[in-house]
Amino acid sequence: MRFFLAWVCVVVSLFMSGCGPVPGAPFSSPSPPTIYAFSADWCTACQNDKPRLREFESQGYLVALIDVDTRPELGRKYHVTAIPCYIVVVNKRTILRTHDLETAIRTVQRECSS
């Protein structure tokens, strides 16, 4: 249920984001950059990054928080072997995989400004 609500937030944010698709554009229009943030409750570094992720998301950027303990199939799908893991996806294509949140944020900002 939590995952479903997170995706609802992503979809809503998509239309609110300055980097999102134009309303009324064809379905195949480019999708905005999204940070898939893989974490766990027991991961101290992950918990330390959450306020910055929320701040970034509040600015209209897309962030999907994924707990690897509650959604292990997504961790496997994206080949996450260590956390925190930040994957930046643009148009269904992974353009960055990092353990550094600031690198992921800069990449999304650069993609949105281009």
Q: DSSP string of 6-43?
A: HHHHHHHHHHHSTTSPPTT--TTSPPPPEEEEEE-TT-
Q: Give 29-48 pLDDT, tens digit per residue.
A: 468 899 999 999 999 999 99
b/e code 61-98 from CB counts within 10 Å (16+ = b): bbbbbbbbeebeebbeebebeebbbbbbbbeeeeebee
- Distance separating alpha carbons of residues 67 and 31, to the nearest angstrom: 23
Asked whether residue 62 is domain-assigned, the answer is: yes
Residue 60: inside a domain, yes or no?
yes
Task: Check: pTM over 0.85? Answer yes or no.
Answer: no
Question: In which domain, by residue range, is 42 found?
Answer: 2-17+30-113
User: How many structural domains is the chain composed of?
Assistant: 1
Q: How far is the CA of 88 from the CAs of 24, 26, 72, 108, in angstroms?
A: 25, 23, 19, 7
Q: Examine residue 22 and state whether it is found in any structural domain, yes or no.
A: no
pLDDT tens track for 54-75: 999 999 999 999 999 999 999 9
CATH of the domain at 92: 3.40.30.10
* Within a domain: 69: yes
